């Protein structure tokens, strides 16, 4: 197997798009070699714990309404090309994602990271839910087969909080400054929402290398 480490944030639209492109490639190569692990990277590490009004956030970040519209035009275009729904009008709040990352971490212990990541993207980009809210996260956990009551109890503590912060800092220390960032085989960094065709080529190249080694 080949490790595919993914630095991502569940409120990052390019992460949502990048995963869809990767998923399409994986579906075309069902014998793919990847062992996928999701890693924390907060787009807004200084976001208030309660989050903030999304319009205020976007207009502050992009210099007004027009800037926000321009910034999100390519997002909508690429999402449609990837066959995704992004219901921007439904998103009322930009959350702090530290607890969502804790949930992804706990899901990894039970080998359910990817279903939880999928559910977080669905909840935020399609349903417009607040994925910084503990009850919402517990509901997402339940939908992915985790014990919602355990997740709620953990979210009420600081369990694994420092670990997530430290791993986020470690990614930045490695030079990761945007997401998604994919690291193939602990060696090759692939930044951005890459097209399906690139992932197909990567997998085919890996298969050729494996075949050559076994020849």
pLDDT tens by residue, 80-127: 999 998 998 999 999 999 999 999 999 999 999 999 999 999 999 999
What pLDDT is stored for residue 68 in this prediction?
Answer: 87
Which residues on adjacent β-strands are paired with residue 2? 34
Q: How far apart are CA 162 and CA 138, in angstroms?
A: 20
CATH architecture assigned to 2-214: 3-Layer(aba) Sandwich (3.40)
Domain spans, the chain: 2-214
Query: First and final CA of the chain: distance in angstroms?
Result: 18
pTM given for the model: 0.96
Smallest CA-to-CA distance from 82 within 130, 137, 15 is with 15
Residue 215 reports pLDDT greater than 80 = no
What pLDDT is stored for residue 129 in this prediction?
Answer: 98
Average pLDDT, the chain: 96
Mapped onto helix, strand or coil, the DSSP state of residue 162 is helix
Question: pLDDT-derived band of residue 131, with 50, 70 and 90 as boundaries?
Answer: very high
Q: How far apart are CA 1 and CA 30, in angstroms?
A: 13
Smallest CA-to-CA distance from 11 within 70, 77, 113, 96 is with 96
């Amino acid at each position: 197997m080949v490790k595919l480490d993914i630095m991502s944030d569940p409120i990052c639209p390019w992460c949502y798009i990048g995963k869809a492109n990767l998923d399409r490639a994986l579906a075309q190569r069902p014998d793919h070699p990847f062992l996928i692990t999701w890693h924390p990277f907060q787009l807004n590490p200084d976001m208030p714990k309660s989050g903030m009004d999304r319009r205020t956030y976007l207009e502050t970040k992009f210099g007004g309404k027009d800037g926000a519209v321009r910034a999100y035009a390519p997002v909508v275009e690429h999402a449609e090309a990837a066959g995704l729904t992004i219901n921007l009008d439904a998103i009322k709040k930009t959350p702090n994602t530290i607890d969502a990352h804790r949930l992804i971490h706990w899901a990894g212990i039970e080998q359910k990271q990817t279903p939880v990541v999928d559910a977080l993207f669905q909840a935020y980009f399609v349903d417009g839910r607040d994925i910084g809210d503990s009850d919402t996260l517990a509901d997402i956990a339940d939908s992915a087969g985790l014990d919602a009551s355990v997740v709620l109890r953990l979210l009420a503590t600081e369990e694994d909080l420092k670990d997530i912060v430290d791993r986020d800092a470690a990614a930045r220390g490695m030079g990761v400054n945007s997401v998604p960032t994919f690291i193939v085989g602990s060696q090759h960094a692939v930044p951005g929402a890459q097209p399906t065709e690139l992932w197909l080529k990567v997998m085919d190249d890996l298969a050729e290398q494996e075949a050559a080694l076994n020849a």
